[in-house]
Structure 1
Amino acid sequence: MLIDIIAGARPNFMKIAPIIEAIENEQKNGLNLHYRLIHTGQHYDKKMSNDFFDQLGIPKPHINLNVGSGTQAEQTGKIMLRYEEVLLNAPSDMCLVVGDVTSTMACSIAAKKLNIKVAHVEAGIRSGDITMPEEINRIVTDSITDYFFTTSEAANNNLRKQGVKEENVFFVGNTMIDTLLKQMDRFIKPAFWNELNLKAKHYIVMTLHRPNNVDQESQLRDLINEITECCSHLPIVFPVHPRTAKMLTQVGISAPNLHLIEPLGYLEFNYLVKHAKAVITDSGGITEETTVMGIPCMTLRNSTERPETCTIGTNELLGTDPKAIKPAMQKIFDGQWKTGGIPELWDGNTSGRIVSVLKMIGKLQIQMEEIPKIE
């Protein structure tokens, strides 16, 4: 069985690395399962792509679609056209997509239209916020998926409500945590650590990139002013997403304790998170990592597709009102933040469970092919 593994953007890379490793380990034991790694090129910045491949030991892609920049529609169209061409020339038996980026949805559609099975890793998560492009990607992808690999019982319930058959849903855990646990001993102290005089548990990490936080000057200014004032005695390290960097330049925001830095590689960024006093973010994936590392996390969003990071983990939804930041920070300074726990099956063995399911699917396909056809 030949499986296309799709990666297109930074959040994908941490999720595919352990799956590829698990497949290669099984191949050494004689598994007749092969993969074709396809990089769509949705993220083309070196820090958001190549560095992750190098640091996580991801092999060079077999195919790079090189779609580059563009609007949501432009990228979707380019990915679909170029992936369809790949499949027409050399079809695979399955398209395995991860997460909820544009590449996830676009490749799923292209594959399904050619009657190729689709498997979705991180299926079933929902924020309930249809204004998020990622939410649209999730809904569309799951509406045509054949095999659903889930991270939580909340995701399982979402799929049940959608009417997905139980036998097609596989609760396996979180591949991003596979990568986190494997790489934790390899985290790298960032080069600027000494320059900024950072000390463990005496600084804040901040990431912002959601349009409703960074696309309006007044909202971005109010959020950052509130955060820098609440944490005036602590450095705030802010790896700046390209979307946010553009707005910060226009607005002219600065503060003595605010340190804007370039996007970091995986190992450097997670070193920063692991040793932080707290994280302020509007990212979903980071809330999973902070939960496993036991770091207090504040999410500047009104909803989350990862509710287990709040109900079980160390994350709390603050909403987008800047006034919610001060009382939350005070809880941290007072040592009153919840300890949190680790969700079920977030144990570093998710990819092995996924490959076990793929092996089962492959055997079933072989059995179906061996059934004599009635003329």
Structure 2
Amino acid sequence: MVDDYSALGFETRAIHAGQKPDPRTGAVIVPIYQTSTYAQDGVGGTREGDYEYSRTANPTRTALEQALAALEGARHTLAFASGMAASDAVLRTVLRPGDHLVLGNDAYGGTFRLIDKVLSLWGIEHTVADLSKIDEVRAAIRPETKLIWCESPTNPLLGVADIAALAGVAHDAGARLVVDNTFATPYLQTPLALGADIVVHSTTKYLGGHSDVVGGAVVTDEDDLREQLFYLRNAAGAVPGPFDAWLTLRGLKTLALRMERHSDNAELIAQTLAKHPKVSKVYYPGLPEHPGHEAAAKQMRRFGGMVSFRHADGEEAALQVASRTKLFILAESLGGIESLIEHPGRMTHASTAGSTLQVPADLLRLSVGIEDPRDLIADLNAALG
């Protein structure tokens, strides 16, 4: 059996890393270790792998962590119960009262809520900046800055940051760079290779890929940070169950295939929407006119499956489009095989209302699935009228 997967292709790692056949039965798929506890070798002893209680460790979860670490080209991955649990663990591990972080001006609403409404009670301060403008990021840095929190592409305006340049700014300031890689996935982008210190995922999205599991992950090369995160996860208990880990591991196996089809479909839809008279603006890094197109082309394999656009006739017209689509399902979340449509201002980003992160009222966000693109385009055209 292969022991070192680092030299193998992405698709091979997705299927084999951390997933050797079960030594007892020969099962080629990692079993679901649906157990809460483990028989000990003796008082104070543990089985191989330090399995003593499933909040601390579970073999199915270990397989997922090893596989995702291999895909990100990282030393360590820790799986969490949700993407927000993963983000919270990073923030509570790295930051202390009086610390400061720089947050992108197009951050996910849930991340903004956690930082602005929860961590602020703990004495954590933040400054919002356009992370695509390096000078603006430098200006936002303070002596007490410990983190730059980046999404690239962003949710929902698909902004792109130069991750390598951001890493340089962070490290010059003695801070860490965190990259939320949920939209891109490790198939399209590997932030650690670009200089980032920490990567977070909502594994609910593309990594799981089938809209049937909720989870999160933190990826890093830092041994000490991994130990701190592991301690906090065990102490606070935000762990995924073994079936959740198994579902996510199953999703990883087809990630490369799905991301290619998501990207193919999204590119066609973005090009179509850009020509539609009812659409005033399209946000997609794959369009040459996108301000982050050059940076995305440099650091991404493809441009992903997310597309946002603004309706030329305003908010009410946008809401009507969201209610008229037949194949695009009106729902939150993203990254599944099915296509979804949502109104960020009233759904996923409602928590940003009245803030500097407020999204346009006429904005719609598409999670483009893997259906026949002709059907999806026809659905949007019919809804737009």
- Name the one with the larger helix percent: 1
